[in-house]
Structure 1
Amino acid sequence: MNISLVIPLLNEAESLRELHSWIFRVMQEHRFSYEVIFIDDGSSDGSWEIIEALSVLDENVKGIRFMKNFGKSQALHAGFAAAKGDVVITMDADLQDSPDEIPELYRMIIEDKFDLVSGWKKKRYDNVLFKNLPSKLFNWAARRTSGVKLHDFNCGLKSYKNVVVKNVEVSGEMHRYIPVLAKNAGFKKIGEKVVQHQARKYGETKFGMNRFINGFLDLITIWFLSRFGRQPMHLFGALGSVMFVIGFISAGYIGISKLYRLYHDEPTILVTSNPWFYIALTTMIIGTQLFLAGFLGEIVLRARQGNDRYKISGRINL
């Protein structure tokens, strides 16, 4: 099979038939063998019934239905697990991503030998103040932190080698950082393609400012995981050591100061009246806690087992 299209959605009933017709036309024109995997992430507007109807008309249409809304990352994870195509292409279901981009995204994987190609919506039709400007800031921070030189991490239109999607763990809200996860997994050839962005035709955007807050928190998480995810003791142990050194130096200063005063018959003060006593005590306690955090991290890392992060209530053709 040439292509697996993985399309997560939430309440996109109005656009699904038009999207399927558009995809069908592109696939027929280029004679691709394909599958379209719709992942219904807890829709309440009849999206699943439309997917069922489309699967009757087109045997290439497949569906996964979540019991409730678990999030885009979980939807992509389920779609990636089911995908069988040599090239896996993700896109949104709101008609803002153009299926006409599919042939070139496929070619860049097959002929140019990219592991992953990310879309870049260079010209956008979103609200400038509440979406475009925060998106630019977010993408700048993601580039600087991750070292992956992409202009648009948030673009849902991406293509992958099948082996890539089978070897990245998409959890939480990490769908924005799949290129970073792929790089950390050892896939180095990451490309970018300018893609057409279209104004939303139906429904309302699922965008909210909380997505950017969560996005920046996830960015910190992925930075930590990429550097210390396999060896958390390297970070917490180093910080704990620094705290212990500060504590021992402070304690040593207190002891030397007291001996100096005793040797010169100068009046001494209670140790607890010296501010350095509290600095030494605090830093040693913090150092101990950091070491314990490192040990716990190592234990969790070695003991963790894979758990499902979503519940599926229905499947079509899978």
Structure 2
Amino acid sequence: MKLLSVVVPAYNEKLTIRVVIEELVKVPNILEIVVVNDGSTDGTREILEQLASEYSELEVIHHLHNKGKTAALKTGFQATRGDIVIVQDADLEYSPQEIQNVIEPILDNKADVVYGSRFLVRKAARVLYFSHYMANKFLTFLSDVFTNVNITDVETCYKAFRGDIIRNMIIKSKGFGFEIEVTAKVAKLKCRIYEVPISYYGRTYEEGKKIGLKDGIQAIWYIIYFNLFCSLKQSFYSLPSQKSLAKTI
């Protein structure tokens, strides 16, 4: 049953993008892989064009200039057709082999949204920056205070959605703001949110990690703005009915 759309934002990921795509095509239930090349200048574009000729599941969309992860996701979501949509980073910090476990609660009609948590139960996780760990914990705590949902890992890449929810969401943030914005908006919609444990194979800055202090400061503002100053009607083009949220796939 082909019902899964995977959206992959990619910026200068020539070293890993082929492996990511080759792993994604093996995922059960895969309908399509939508890669948004966000203005890469390192040869990622050429690799993606070659991959598109090899795999019918792959659709590649190019941004002429780098617009940031959130803009790439926004473009990708609107190109999807699947009943379930999940985000996959192009850098192999997250293993596509775990996608099936992430979407399982949606397949079982228990959830509308699922987050893959790096902290819910510690699986394989590379030991990296303590400052990043503390920043993530702080942002997750602050987000939970405003949304009143007990998520353990708001900044995780692996977020899976019912397709009608994410395609109807009005996304306004920039840079890495998507993680905070989407959490505020699915909480406003009162979605059934689940978490499942995942592994994490992080990168150092020398290996290509891109998020920094500026993004953390911006996230604090987004937590305040999207929870206090953005209404439910301002969050979605049209509101998925509770009936559609609960229907069986």
TM bin (shorter chain): 0.7 to 0.9
Paired residue secondary structure (1:94): coil
CA contact (8 A) 1:8 1:75 kept: yes
Cα contact 1:76–1:170 (8 A) shared by 2: no
Runs of 4+ in 1 over 2 A off after TM superposition: 123-130, 199-203, 223-230
Gaps of 5+ in 1: 231-318
Alpha-carbon spacing, 1:145–1:61, altered in 2? closer, same or farther (3 Å): same
Q: How far apart in 1 are the matches of 2:229 and 2:78?
A: 22
Q: Do the aligned partners of residues 229 and 158 (structure 1) sit closer, same or farther apart at CA in structure 2, a change above 3 Å counting?
A: closer
Question: Residues 39 and 66 of structure 2 are in contact (CA less than 8 Å); yes or no, is this contact kept in structure 1?
Answer: yes
Secondary structure of 1:212's counterpart equals helix
1:92 aligns with 2:89: yes
Q: Which residue number in structure 2 is paired with residue 6 of structure 1?
A: 7
TM-score normalised by structure 1 residue count: 0.66
> Alpha-carbon deviations, 1:89-112, whole Å to 9, x = none?
111111011111111223211213
Distance 2:227 2:213 in 1: 22
After superposition, give the CA deviation of every residue in 1:237-261 in whole Å (9 maximum; x if it has no partner). Answer: xxxxxxxxxxxxxxxxxxxxxxxxx
Any residues of structure 2 matched to 1:1-318 within 5 Å, and which? 1-25=2-26, 27=27, 30=28, 32-122=29-119, 123=122, 124-125=125-126, 127-173=128-174, 174-177=177-180, 178-184=182-188, 186-200=189-203, 203-226=207-230
Percent identity of paired positions between Structure 1 and Structure 2: 24
What secondary structure is seen at the aligned counterpart in 1 of 2:92?
A: coil
Q: Counterpart of 1:262?
A: none
Report the structure, 1 or 2, having the larger helix content: 1
- RMSD value, Cα: 2.1
Q: Which has the larger radius of gyration?
A: 1
- Paired AA for residue 188 in structure 1: C
The separation in 1 between residues aligned to 2:19 and 2:221, in whole angstroms, is 36
Structure 2: give runs of 5+ residues left out of the alignment. 235-249
Contact 1:148 1:179 in 2 (8 A): no
Kindly indicate whether the alpha-carbon contact (under 8 Å) linking 2:118 and 2:197 is maintained by their aligned counterparts in 1: yes
